[in-house]
């Protein structure tokens, strides 16, 4: 090579870019950026484990969600069923009041003679042949028929119409099986449920307040044979196993001691009561205390007035006063003369 050619070649070499290695100039091949085989296996295992764990986690939450939905549906259905039970019971009680006894307003009630109050016994007995009476406490929701049977447990679940409801048991107001059905015993025990909607015998619990007790001391018991006007004298709070359910007594002294015990145990102080001896015909109204386990509220009342058609009082041989008969005879003689 000549010097001139060498110089020219040198100039071109000086300005030329260095050549890249063949490996860099080769076009990228498919999979050229994948990890090596060993790395690929580890990568796959790692990502498969993450996906599997995610899948398992999603499955667990899906099960939890489904269970929660099922529980919600069951709870909502139960609440709806309970709500319907209360509504149905309230409607039944309203229907009974409209059928049996529609009380007058307060002013008229005070002017009405006890014998003038009437109940449609035929209509009630057409619904329930075991109807024996009606209880009404002015100023409360207590305005219901009384039934009687030889099994006290029956009307705990069965209502006046003979219906039962496992979710809401209104039952019925019933006279103790130990009592005579004509209310002639010295002490007559009447039971009723304490419902959460304030119906049946629930208002009795409100009598714990002295103002409420004193404002609602009159109780009416109507029967096919006559009517009673009662006056309350005691409210006792006790346990379910308290021996309050006594209907007959061996002697007048035992009966009077029973009444005096209830006066002494009353949670409300009552002034101006007759003596225990004079309160010789009593009624006991019992219900549960929903705020205490196995607790009971028991309201006691004595007969202040009864109509001529009522049962014969204890110790008497007739409901007719002999002096009244003599007076009528004398008046008849004078008229004839």
Q: What sign has the CA pseudo-torsion 279, 284, 285, 286?
A: positive
CA distance 253 to 70: 63
Which residue out of 15, 148, 193, 281 is catalytically annotated? 193
How far is residue 180 CA from its own chain's centroid?
29
Which residue out of 148, 194, 281, 288 is catalytically annotated? 288
CA distance 8 to 26: 31
Structure token digits, residue 6: 């060498």
* 3-class secondary-structure state, position 245: coil
- Residue 123: its H or E element: helix 121-127
CB 300 within 8 A of CB 286: no
Q: What sign has the CA pseudo-torsion 109, 114, 116, 117?
A: positive
DSSP-derived secondary structure letter, 315: T
Residue 16: CB atoms within 10 A of its CB come to 8
Tokens 């024996």 appear where? 132
Is 193 catalytic? The answer is yes
CB 268 within 8 A of CB 212: no
Which are the catalytic amino acids? 193, 288
């Amino acid at each position: 090579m000549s010097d001139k050619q060498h110089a020219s070649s040198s100039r071109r070499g000086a300005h030329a870019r260095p050549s890249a290695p063949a490996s860099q100039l080769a076009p990228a091949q498919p999979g050229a950026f994948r990890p090596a085989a060993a790395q690929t296996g580890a990568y796959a295992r790692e990502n498969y484990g993450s996906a599997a764990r995610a899948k398992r986690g999603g499955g667990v939450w899906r099960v939890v969600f489904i269970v929660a939905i099922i529980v919600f549906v069951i709870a909502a259905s139960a609440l709806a069923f309970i709500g319907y039970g209360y509504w149905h019971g309230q409607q039944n009680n309203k229907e009974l009041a409209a059928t049996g006894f529609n009380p007058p307003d307060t002013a008229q009630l005070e002017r009405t003679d006890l014998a003038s109050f009437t109940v449609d016994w035929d209509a009630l007995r057409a619904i329930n042949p075991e109807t024996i009476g009606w209880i009404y406490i002015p100023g409360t929701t207590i305005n219901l028929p009384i039934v009687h049977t030889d099994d006290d447990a029956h009307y705990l679940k069965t209502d006046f119409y003979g219906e039962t409801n496992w979710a809401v048991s209104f039952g019925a107001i019933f006279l103790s099986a130990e009592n005579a059905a004509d209310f002639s015993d010295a002490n007559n025990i009447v039971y009723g449920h304490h419902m959460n909607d304030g119906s049946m015998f629930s208002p009795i619990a409100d009598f714990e307040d002295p103002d409420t007790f004193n404002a609602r001391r009159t109780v009416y018991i109507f029967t096919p044979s006559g009517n009673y006007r009662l006056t309350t004298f005691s409210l006792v709070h006790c346990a379910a196993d308290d021996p309050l359910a006594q209907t007959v007594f061996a002697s007048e002294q035992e009966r009077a001691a029973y009444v005096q015990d209830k006066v002494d145990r009353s949670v409300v102080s009552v002034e101006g009561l007759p003596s225990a001896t004079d309160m010789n015909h009593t009624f006991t109204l019992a219900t549960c205390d929903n705020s205490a386990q196995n607790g009971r509220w028991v309201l006691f009342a004595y007969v202040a007035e009864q109509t001529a058609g009522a049962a014969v009082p204890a110790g008497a041989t007739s409901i007719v006063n002999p002096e009244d008969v003599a007076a009528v005879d004398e008046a008849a003689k004078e008229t004839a003369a």
